[in-house]
Amino acid sequence: MQKIKEAFLVSPFLVFFLVHSEQIGVGVLGYQRIIAKYAGYDSWISVIIAAAFVHILIWMIYYVLNNGDGDIVSIHKSLFGGLFGNLFNLALLLYFLLWSITVLRTYIEVIQVWMFPTLSTWKIAIVFLLLTYYVVSSGFRTVAGVCYLGVVIPLGLITLLFYPLEFTHFSNLLPVFDENIKDYLSATKNMMLSYLGFETLLVFYPFIKNAKRSQRFAHHANIFTFMMYLLVTLFSFAFFSEEQLARNIWATLSMVKIVQVSFVERFDFVFVSIWCLVILPNITLAIWCSSRVAKLMLNIRQHVTLIVLLGVVLVSCIFLDTRLKINLLNNYTNIIGFYLAISYIPLLFITTFLKKQLKKKRKNNEQATPTT
């Protein structure tokens, strides 16, 4: 593992903002329809179950990183050998690249549908990618700063959820536990996708001062994410009927649309505009992780890998020019992300645990063997 200079490290508490900023993105604008499809209004229970499962996965990640070399690229090679280790590294690189493409293209679609239908995809993409280049090329501390601002500045938008209270009917949530276990599990699976983003811990862990102390902040971030998702879920279910929710792609934006103030006619325009401060950390951190893995794999400057990856993102966004393609992109990203969470992270944990136990047993045997 490469030793990171202290000047490039960030404080442990910033892990809260790094994790939370990656978990909240375009998904919060319309995940309600997807989970309600399986467990109806009881889907709020899946929000709780998914959050609990993510806590376990975060604990597994810290176990792997604390007992490994701290650098996920080195850990892969140590656990699986050079060939398979590099395959895992390549898969992780492509996953974060795919994540950034999905977030950016989906947000561009929101802008085109809600605000500027005739605006070209490449124009919006270039603006975001130039900002991403500036932030990522400035170093990880700048990326962490953008994630901090991406959490703090839009925080006031939560208050908008209380505006539709007079139109809500919380009796919609009754009766509780009215679905079967299979439906709850299906809803939980789809809700898990909204919590993804915490796996960036695998890459930026070496850039944290006293990294082992940062675990509680990662868990606190997941708790805060859970509270936000639960609040949005309950308000959405109380505001919409099941039929309305089934036809509404962006339920959160539809709720915000009814907000009326004297100086703004369409407050949903303001919401979508401010939401770019939430999307930018999503993209910058994912691109930074992808370029960092590429740098460690190929042993070349991160600046070079950054330019190549941004070019791939731009071309991909231009190619994804229909609703069908964007929907397929989201579906495939969700599937890959879900199986990464439930298989890849536990695999790392189990392999690290077995290696540690084997090493401990070998050490005990050496100590027990008498010297001659």
* Of 370, 344, 371, 357, nearest in space to 60 by CA: 344
pLDDT on residue 136: 96
Encode pLDDT of 278-334 as tens digits. 999 999 999 999 999 999 999 899 999 999 999 999 999 999 989 899 999 988 998
How crowded is residue 6: how many other Cβ atoms within 10 Å of its Cβ? 7
| HEC assignment per residue over 5-16 | CHHHCECCCHHH
185 has a pLDDT exceeding 70: yes
Encode pLDDT of 82-119 as tens digits. 899 999 999 999 999 999 999 999 999 999 999 899 99
pLDDT on residue 261: 74
Q: Which two tokens stand for residue 51?
A: 């959050």
Integer Cα distance of 187 and 196 in angstroms: 15
pLDDT on residue 347: 95
Task: Label residue 6 by pLDDT band (50, 70, 90).
Answer: confident
Q: Which two tokens stand for residue 55?
A: 């806590």
Integer Cα distance of 322 and 88 in angstroms: 31
Task: Label residue 65 by pLDDT band (50, 70, 90).
Answer: very high
Task: Enumerate the domain spans of the chain.
Answer: 6-348
Encode pLDDT of 333-371 as tens digits. 988 988 888 899 999 999 999 998 998 888 888 777 655
Amino acid (1-letter code) at residue 344: Y
Q: What is the CATH number of domain 6-348?
A: 1.20.1740.10
Consecutive H or E run containing 332: helix 323-339
Higher pLDDT, 209 or 193: 209
Task: Label residue 1 by pLDDT band (50, 70, 90).
Answer: low
pLDDT on residue 2: 63
Under 8 Å between Cβ of 360 and 219: no
Encode pLDDT of 211-255 as tens digits. 999 999 999 999 999 999 999 999 999 999 888 888 888 999 888
Q: Which residues contact 160 (CB under 8 A, 6 or more apart)?
A: 255, 256, 259, 267, 271
Task: Label residue 264 by pLDDT band (50, 70, 90).
Answer: confident
